[in-house]
Amino acid sequence: MKILALDTSGQNCSVCIMNEEKVICDFNLSTGTTHSETLLPIIDTLCKFSKIDLNDIDILACALGPGSFTGLRIGIATLKGFCLGAEKKVVGISTLEGLAYNATEFCGIVCSVLDAKNNNVYAGIYKYENGKPTRIGDYITEDLDTLIKILKEYNSKILFVGDGAQSFKERFENEFGDKASFAPIHLNNQLASSIAKAALDRAQNNDFDDMDKLNPLYLKKSQAERMLDGEN
């Protein structure tokens, strides 16, 4: 079973090919170049070096968001394009779930947190069960103070992961003291290898998505839409 996974939800353009045993190849690029310019060349390069073409791929997976509105559309459109005329199984994974997979099994809760600017966050709270993260409660798209209030209710050790873990590290340390841990800096990027692992876990339970119904998980409107609707 071979999985081609994409994550274009943030600044990092990430592509991975994985099977049940190992990561076959993995490429991450965070140079500010737009994903529309880099994604297809990266996929082509990985296929050439691994000597695996799209006909060999069994499952296509991608990050659904939250994240960059444009980046998410590029990733999902690319995945759907690969599915045209090919019978491929498809799995969409939340960006926040992918970040939780960046972490190792943790004795406490894992908080995947993305900096949504203006002191706002996208967050998901996870607990590792049977070697994989399971989300607790709803996704959180609120201000930082609200996230902190929610996390304090768990009275637990917390591992923070994602760009928000870096952006708000000082505040988390002040609020949670020695209960707060932080993922290493190289694991705060959204990674296609984690999307691939999450998709593999889903595939092993025969849990796939309908390609025609695969859409970005935005959680909130874009800034342009909010301005159009007269919202802040």
Going by C-alpha positions, the residue among 84, 48, 65 that lies closest to residue 7 is: 65
The reply to whether 197 and 173 lie within a common domain is: no
Is the domain of 66 the same as that of 22? Answer: yes
Query: CATH number for the domain including 211?
Result: 3.30.420.40
Q: Is residue 230's pLDDT more than 60?
A: no
Q: What is the mean pLDDT of the chain?
A: 93
Q: pLDDT tens digits for 99-147? A: 999 998 889 999 999 999 999 999 999 999 988 999 999 999 999 999 9
Q: How far apart are CA 62 and CA 90, in angstroms?
A: 8
Q: In this structure, are 110 and 176 located in the same domain?
A: yes
Task: State the Cα–Cα distance between residues 128 and 48, nearest whole angstrom.
Answer: 36
Model pTM score: 0.93
Q: Average pLDDT, stretch 160-180? A: 98
Domain boundaries, position 169: 104-182
Residue 163's CATH number: 3.30.420.200
Note whether 8 and 121 are same-domain residues: no
For residues 89 and 18, state if they share a domain: yes
Same structural domain, 14 and 122: no
**Residue-wise pLDDT tens digits, 193-208:** 999 999 999 999 999 9
Same domain? 178 vs 196 = no
Place of tokens 């607990």: 127
- Round to whole Å and give the CA distance between 161 and 182: 6
Same domain, 10 and 87: yes
pLDDT band at 219 (very low <50, low <70, confident <90, very high): confident
Say yes or no: 168 and 89 in one domain: no
- 77 and 151 both lie in a single domain: no
Which of these, 16, 29, 106, lies nearest to 63 by C-alpha position?
A: 16
Residues 49 and 7 in one domain: yes
List Cβ neighbours of 92 (8 Å cut-off, separation of 6 or more): 61, 62, 63, 64, 76, 209, 214, 217
Let me know whether 30 and 91 are in one domain. Answer: yes
Query: What are the tens digits of pLDDT across the range 15-63?
Result: 999 999 999 999 999 988 899 999 999 999 999 999 999 999 999 999 9
